[in-house]
Structure 1
Amino acid sequence: MTIFTSLAALGALLCSVSLFAQEEPSPAPTLTLAQLAEAADLVAVVRVLDTDYQYTREFPSGGSAFLEVLIPYKVSRPLEDILEVYEEGLHAGECYFDNPSVLEEGRRHLVFLTFSEEVSGQYNGLAQGCKLEVLVTTENRYALRYPLNGLPVADDLTALVRELEFQDGYAVLDEEEITPPERNQLLADGHLERAGDLRYRYTRGVPLEEVRKLMGPAGLTLDRSLR
């Protein structure tokens, strides 16, 4: 191989690397709750009923989740009895849900979804993601788990965080479900407490009535015929 062919090959390689870098999607901007609600076709508190995913190395890589709507906030068409949320691939902002076992209720989430452009009746997540985890308090009220678990939010929610008692089974986690540095930091900040041997419980949340205010008019449908 001559020096000229070597340089040509190197140039082609650098060109392909440059093109690949240009094709990498830029991360979606972090939005406020009001902006997320405005961008979504459906905003609701839901419970996961079931999932039908394909898996790659134990991670979901495509398929649908099936959700029950508990509280509809923003609705842009008559609600289906069960929502189907489709996702495909592994990427930032992916919209996959944990599948509940036969013996447990599914997790609850505040979701921000859009109508599928490809399949009638299906939903997709936003580019930023699609959900924030919701827990049930001992007073049977809903609150976002804090620190938030799910898509990033631009709002500063610090002043809205409350110390809460949760009856939700998902408020309790085993030691292996969290890394030691994260666990120790949450314990030090008062967001986590010990709940028996090698188990911990979340202690803070943001009441959904406060979250609803932050979503603004774009996060509420007044047309009762759609709800």
Structure 2
Amino acid sequence: MGLVTNFERWELSFALGRATEGVRGKNNDAGVNTGRSHGASDIEIGAKLDSGKVLAAVDRMAAQAPHLADWSLFAYASPMWNANRNKERLFEHVLNDWVVAESENGKMIQHRTFERIKALIEVIAGALALEQSRGAGVEMVDGEVRYKPVSTKAFLIHVLVDVDCAEKEEDSDTFRNKRKRYYQNHWADWAKHVETLRTLLTGYDLTARKIFKKELANKNGAIYTPYH
């Protein structure tokens, strides 16, 4: 029994968002099969069953690849649903994958670079999550349509400067402007790091979507039961 017809075809972003947004007993959204008529309690029960199947699929994903389940919850679950420990584990995994990617390219990683990448990960992950759920932004520049990232160069430099200020315990305008000019002059190097992080996270998302679709179709899986 469930509320939605063919809910197994739901995409990860929609399914997880709906499963964690709370039950709306009186709603009758498009795609909902209500038959003749249902009381609010019937709709609520059906919605909980469908949500349980979605969350059970994420649980089974977590058993295979915890970081993919962490990414899914971070990107698509309702804001109050995801625990801080899931986000911390996700960011740590991204950081480790970035270290591996840099090492495979024969690059030595300085401690100061490592600390600044840590600061960038949450910003880039959050921006990518918005793009994946709402669609990427574009803008017209010189008659051409170009990609407009949520996390702009200016904002990422601001994040890096904040790390410098905290590290040096210096927050004067002079120091901030000096560090800002430094990152502007060396942005080509930092842009490569940003692209590496985006590539890693995009890979997480593509793989998570594939696993979720497979697990959601697994009707023999256990129904998710929240911990008390």
**TM-score, scaled to structure 2:** 0.25
Q: Which has the higher contact order (CA 8 A, sep 6+)?
A: 2
Instruction: Tell me the TM-score normalized by structure 1.
Output: 0.25
The structure where helix makes up a greater share of residues is: 2
If each structure's strand is expressed as a fraction of its own residues, which one has the higher value?
1
